Amino acid sequence: MKPFEYARAASSSEAVRGFGPGTMYLGGGTNLVDLMRLGVAEPERLVDVSRLPLDAIESVGDRVRVGATVRNSDLAADPLIRSRYPMLARAVLTGASGQVRNVATVGGNLLQRTRCTYFQDVTRPCNKRRPGSGCPAIAGDHANLAILGASDACVATHPSDMAVALAALEAEVHVTGPGGDRIIPLPGLHRLPGEEPERDTVLRPGDLITSVELPPPPAGATLYRKVRERASFAFALVSIAAVLDVGPDEGGGGVVAGCRIALGGVAHVPWRAERAEQALIGGPATGEAFLAAAEAELEQARPLPRNAFKVPLARNLIVATLEELAP
């Protein structure tokens, strides 16, 4: 590992002041330190933000604010989160292991990097790691990479489970940085790869995540489900965070009053399935309607030969989850 300078910040403003060229913030280090060991990340200076006093989970009016240094395990165990946002607690508990969750922070979880094997292997080209060097995953190992929103430059997926639940909950990410304070809606924090796959998010150099704010829980039932290769300690092949609000219609059946669907494991971002949501709202809450909505969403999928299985997997997961949520 390349030698680096280490500093611990006592406040958010001190962390931002201490950020310069070659600097990276350090959360729990469960992703960044791995990447440093592999030579993928080579910061000259680490500013440790893991002990900033941003570790509270608190009600703010009808919203809940989660500090950026809250550990993943504390978030999942918090009574306020478990009672008001069970889908978020569930999503966090499906990620990593107990030991990793005890260390990993909320800010670091949102900014963890892709698990594409070429990205993690410095002996191979990779547009995300070395812009312009190529994307060997397209002709190579892409079995767990993107089927939606990918580009010719990169087909990586975003790995966070928490981010998928937060996208369905329409959380806001609060950021402070050299340019001042900003609030970024979570479905807009991560970006599609386009021609610049090296940029995972819309954050600017030196931006520090200080908290994530949760709006009041949406009406309806919620669920997070994750399909993976083994029962624990594995990233999602496809995951879903879904909200379904069904009201009565005149004929005595159910009509979809509200619906939100976010998918994980399928794109460079937590993917809001807006086409499926639009197809469902105002219509009947039936298995046929759920299937038609899933198919409307996945019409835009552009799978590669070895990840085409994700299209029927995502379709079946959407339908099964909505059927479970429907009254």
Ligand X SMILES: Cc1cc2nc3c(=O)[nH]c(=O)nc-3n(C[C@H](O)[C@H](O)[C@H](O)COP(=O)(O)OP(=O)(O)OC[C@H]3O[C@@H](n4cnc5c(N)ncnc54)[C@H](O)[C@@H]3O)c2cc1C
Residue numbers at the binding site for ligand X (CB under 6 A): 24-32, 49, 68, 72, 95-96, 100, 103-105, 107-109, 111-112, 159-162, 208-209, 233, 235
28 binds ligand SF4 (CB under 6 A): no
Residue 27 contact, options ligand X, ligand SF4, none, Cβ 5-8 Å cut-off depending on partner type: ligand X
Tell me which stretch binds ligand SF4 (CB under 6 A): 24-32, 153-161, 218-226, 252-260. 153-161
Residue choice 127, 160, 210, 211 for contact with ligand SF4 (CB under 6 A): 127
156 binds ligand SF4 (CB under 6 A): yes
Give, in order, the Cα–Cα distances in Å from 190 to each of 99, 137, 186, 207. Answer: 26, 21, 8, 14
Tokens read off for 53: 């006093």
Which residue matches tokens 């604010």? 65
Quick one: DSSP state of residue 38? Answer: T
* Distance in Å, CB of 232 to ligand X, minimum: 9
- Residue placing its CB nearer to ligand X in the complex, 26 or 153: 26
Residue 24 contact, options ligand X, ligand SF4, none, Cβ 5-8 Å cut-off depending on partner type: ligand X
155 binds ligand SF4 (CB under 6 A): yes
| DSSP state letters, 78-120 | -HHHHHH-HHHHHHHHTSS-HHHHHH-BHHHHHTPPP--TTTT
Quick one: DSSP state of residue 12? Answer: H
96 binds ligand SF4 (CB under 6 A): no
* Distance in Å, CB of 209 to ligand SF4, minimum: 22
Residue 114 contact, options ligand X, ligand SF4, none, Cβ 5-8 Å cut-off depending on partner type: ligand SF4
Nearest to 214 by CA among 57, 35, 71, 21: 57
Nearest to 131 by CA among 37, 228, 196: 196
**Which helix (H) or strand (E) covers residue 294, if one does?**
helix 287-298
User: 177: which strand partners?
Assistant: 180
- Residue placing its CB nearer to ligand X in the complex, 233 or 309: 233
101 binds ligand SF4 (CB under 6 A): no
- Residue placing its CB nearer to ligand SF4 in the complex, 63 or 130: 130
Give, in order, the Cα–Cα distances in Å from 216 to each of 24, 80, 225. Answer: 33, 12, 21
* Distance in Å, CB of 34 to ligand X, minimum: 6
End-to-end C-alpha distance for the chain, whole angstroms: 54
Tokens read off for 146: 């993107």
Residue choice 72, 114, 176, 239 for contact with ligand SF4 (CB under 6 A): 114
235 binds ligand SF4 (CB under 6 A): no
Summarize as ranges the residues that interact with ligand SF4 (CB under 6 A): 114, 116, 118-119, 126-128, 135-137, 145, 154-156, 197
